[in-house]
Chains A and B, each alone.
Chain A
Amino acid sequence: MSLGVILLIHNALDRVEQVARHWATHGVPVVIHADSRMPNSRYQMLIKGLSDLENIRFSARHKCEWGTWGLVAASQSAAEVMLQDFPAVRHVYLASGSCLPLRPVEELVQYLAERPNTDFIESATLADVPWTIGGLDHERFTLRFPFSWKRNRRLFDLCVDFQRRFRMHRQMPDGLIPHMGSQWWCLTRQTLTAILQDPRRGIYERFFRQVWIPDESYFQTLVRLYSRDIQSRSLTLSKFDFQGKPHIFYDDHLQLLRRSDCFVARKIWPYADRLYNAFLTPQPDALNRTEPNPGKIDRIFAKAVERRTQGRTGLYMQSRFPNPDWENGFTASEYSMFEGFSELFEDFESWLGRLTGARVHGHLFAPERVHYEGAVKVINGALSDSAALRDRNPRAFLTNMIWNTRGERQCFQVGPADHIQEVEWDIAKDPNAQICVITGAWAVPLFRSNLDFSEIRRTAAELQRRESRHLDVLRSPYAKARIHIWSLAEFVEAPMEPLQAIIGEIGQTDKRRLTEAPKMVNLTGFAQFLQNLKNQGMHPYLTGDFPNTLEEREKPRKPRKPYLVK
């Protein structure tokens, strides 16, 4: 038999026994190293439980704390036992107590027999990989780490800072080039003995004892000195999350693990009965499998890391509540906000809906209630039309609405009387927003209303003040939305061009010219109405320069281009 397995264990002894028995009964000698912190009584029980198998050995125990030299010392002494007691062993496989062989042992043995001189160890030069977590990469080798990162985090950090400040750097012995990689390797007898019997082993050891997480760099660095053929990958399937801690496999990963075609996986949850049963009993459907292919598992775990670090854009929930400006986007998808359009056109909302297929709401932020499309009382997500509920948290109202309707573009109307002040900055800064404004359009409903003129004058002044403040926000340099602003006069003169541009930007229709325009309200006498306001001392400057008489309006004038505020 050409394969031997080293198991580094510290808990879940019944599983260790099960796995060790599996290897051993398939003719693979096993050397077990138990963490010295494990209670002796349980250790003795394990020894007793495995005493019927003559190809199992136990090596001298070391204290195995994460990130310390103990783990390397453990692998060294176990490897020495293995090489000495089992002279037939050609490849030594380092595994942990929570590793589980996924393929029949014979397949692994055969795979290795076909590659008799190959060392399987992930070993990458430090400079070229972004794996390290927490900002220590080359400093793992150049600084000293007398304190435990797990237990004395503060002392650890102080010590690192101290050495950085006083530039206390160490040199790699013999000009070794630091390499790093997964600590689960499979090395040939030749390479392993070369490392263990090297006359300079003591020098290297003294150096690596002070390195941080030496189990990821000791063998990975030294193997480069002796190996004839390195395959820089681990035969053990092991995925790490964004904090560098291994992902755990459960029963529901069974099919994924099966299809991965990897030889060994880590880390298995000790209570995952289905996995242990499935992989430690003979598998009938021995497929013709060759190279490990963990692509699907990779994707699933990469997605988990992305979810944990990026999250879903536009979602605010109990476990994702980003600080302002850390949202990765305020809203989940694109939407449009129209100001003044439904005042100027009689059928703007139905026209827009027909043309773009988008959902066109009325004034969502109206003071009295939320005007959803079709005047419904609730929409997606059971979002209510109560103005009080909306005003309790307008930001949440908007982000909820956009999140609930993702996949469908939302358009809504806004006017200067609406309760939008709390969200206008968020909308203006949101690249998902398209904002189209006809300034001064609030004058149209006033013009058509049946109010006393003094009342009209007062309302007009108030609306103009509010709209002017709102425009300041839209014109701010922080605004990131696609914002278009026209004055009423400009827009009335040549409405088709801006409408075409808006529809084009929403982009759900073909590129042909608009054939159908929304119906503009009758503005006969509007110029006089504005003049009356002026005569009363209230200059409606936001409407733009409205032609004084209708006849004048008919005269061709050079249209001004809409300007884009970005």
Chain B
Amino acid sequence: MGAIQSYGLRLERKRWRYRAMRKSRELSPLVNRTAYIREADLLVFCTLRNEAKRLPYFLEYYRNLGINHFLFVDNDSTDGSADYLAEQPDSSVWRTNASYKRSRFGMDWINWLLMKYGNGHWCLTVDPDEFLIYPFCDTRPLRALTDWLDASSIKSFGAMLLDMYPKGPIGTQPYRAGQDPLEIAMWFDSGNYTIERNHKYGNLWIQGGPRARVFFPDEPYHAPALNKVPLVKWDDRYAYISSTHSLLPRGLNLIYDEWGGEKSSGVLLHTKFLDTFTHKAEEELQRGEHYAGSREYKMYAERGQVSPDLWCTWSEKYINWRQLEILGLMSKGNWA
């Protein structure tokens, strides 16, 4: 990479950071408990809108992994999500009713919070429907992983998005607050992912899974990206570019080995397809606040499937991380 290109990326990074600072004015703190964050605490950053039903389990799951503090941006929820979060002793909440789209789908807000509170911490940036799975997650807390990453001088940890879905039309089984969503959405596609390299930022671009198979079989180029780098030892010079798909400086995107070996990686189980999905899809189509003109949601509506069935005979039923590793969706890498 030439000096000019490298300088260009530096300018771009600064631009995202400047933009995040500018957009931070849209946030107003509802409750700020960040003073309780101690050195080396593990933090979760999350933007949400009307997710009251999902939050109890979300918090439980990540508390069990050993997250010490949650930082939420509530984008104009009307179902009491913000108030519920404000009651949690380990959460800080910011509210905004500004445009999700114009804050680059929440990334400007998150970039600012990361910049302000994430410096020197291992920071996990996820959505309320994403659950991190990493090697040995059933026997070792998240701190075991971050300590090992620290000892290995690794600064970022990749976890691809794995779309989970129920058998039968989405929405037949109602989701109760506090329930493990994997009890309903327990199926996934194990081997239909395609990978390309993005030479500008150095990240991989992964597509595939049930959404490509069912919603985008004719225009796969537009299928959603599944590559993610959600766990980063944050430094206040860093910036996420587009969602958590990639970030700058570009070295952080090198979560894959280029010489045949396997680096350690995890999976984000994406439990989007619950009964809440249909309602959400309709609403998001109205608001048009999602990526690429809410193309994804348009596609769902266009396919005329108010409650599509993503299940097929070769869908795989989720068991544990070892299954995902055997299937080749994630890897222990060098961690044993």
Contacts and interface: CB of A to CB of B under 8 A. Distances in A.
Interface of A: 241-243, 245, 247-248, 250-252, 269, 271, 300-301, 303-305, 307-312, 315-323, 326-328, 376-384, 386, 388-389, 392-393, 396-397, 400, 403-404
Interface in B180-231: 189-197, 204, 206-207, 210, 212-213, 216-221, 227
Contacts of B287: none
B260 A327 contact: yes
Contact of B334 (A307, A320, A328, A393): A307
23 contacts: A243-B152, A247-B336, A252-B139, A271-B141, A304-B336, A307-B261, A309-B260, A311-B257, A311-B261, A312-B262, A318-B265, A319-B158, A320-B260, A320-B263, A380-B314, A381-B189, A383-B192, A386-B218, A388-B218, A388-B220, A389-B192, A396-B193, A403-B191
Nearest to A250: B140
Nearest to A396: B194
A241 B192 CA distance: 32
A320 B261 contact: yes
Q: Which 8 residue pairs of A and B lie closest in terms of their CB atoms, listed nearest first?
A: A381-B191, A319-B265, A304-B336, A308-B334, A382-B189, A386-B217, A404-B191, A396-B194
B318 interface: no
Interface stretch (B29-37, B87-95, B120-128, B143-151): B143-151
B3 to A, nearest CB: 17
Given A247-B336, A319-B262, A392-B207, 4 more contacts: A304-B333, A304-B334, A318-B159, A386-B220
Contacts of B144: 250, 269, 271
Contacts of A317: 160, 193, 195, 256, 262, 265, 328-331
Dominant secondary structure at the B interface: loop
Given A378-B313, A381-B192, A388-B218, A318 B261 contact: no
Given A304-B334, A400-B193, A403-B191, A318 B218 contact: no
A506 B35 CA distance: 68
Contacts of A245: 151-152
Contacts of B57: none
B244 interface: no
Contacts of A320: 256-257, 260-263, 331
Interface string B283-320: 00000000000000000000000000000111110000
Contacts, number: 178
B259 interface: yes
B101 interface: no
A497 B195 CA distance: 42
Given A248-B151, A319-B331, A380-B314, A311 B139 contact: no
A386 B214 CA distance: 10
Contact of A393 (B136, B141, B194, B328): B194
A376 to B, nearest CB: 8
Contacts of B140: 250-252
Contacts of A400: 191-194
A389 B191 CA distance: 13
Contacts of B218: 386, 388
A301 B334 CA distance: 8
B212 to A, nearest CB: 6
A404 B333 CA distance: 20
Interface of B: 136, 139-141, 143-144, 147-148, 151-152, 158-160, 189-197, 204, 206-207, 210, 212-213, 216-221, 227, 255-265, 312-316, 328-336
A430 to B, nearest CB: 15
A247 to B, nearest CB: 6
Contacts of A251: 139-140
B314 A307 contact: no
Interface centre among B139, B259, B330 (most CB of A within 10 A): B259
A388 B217 contact: yes
A303 B336 contact: yes
Contact of A250 (B139, B160, B217, B314): B139
Interface centre among A315, A318, A379 (most CB of B within 10 A): A318
Contacts of B313: 376, 378
A382 B335 contact: no
A313 B30 CA distance: 51
B190 A382 contact: yes
Contacts of B207: 392
Contacts of A389: 192, 212-213, 216-217, 220
Given A380-B191, A392-B221, A400-B191, A323 B258 contact: yes
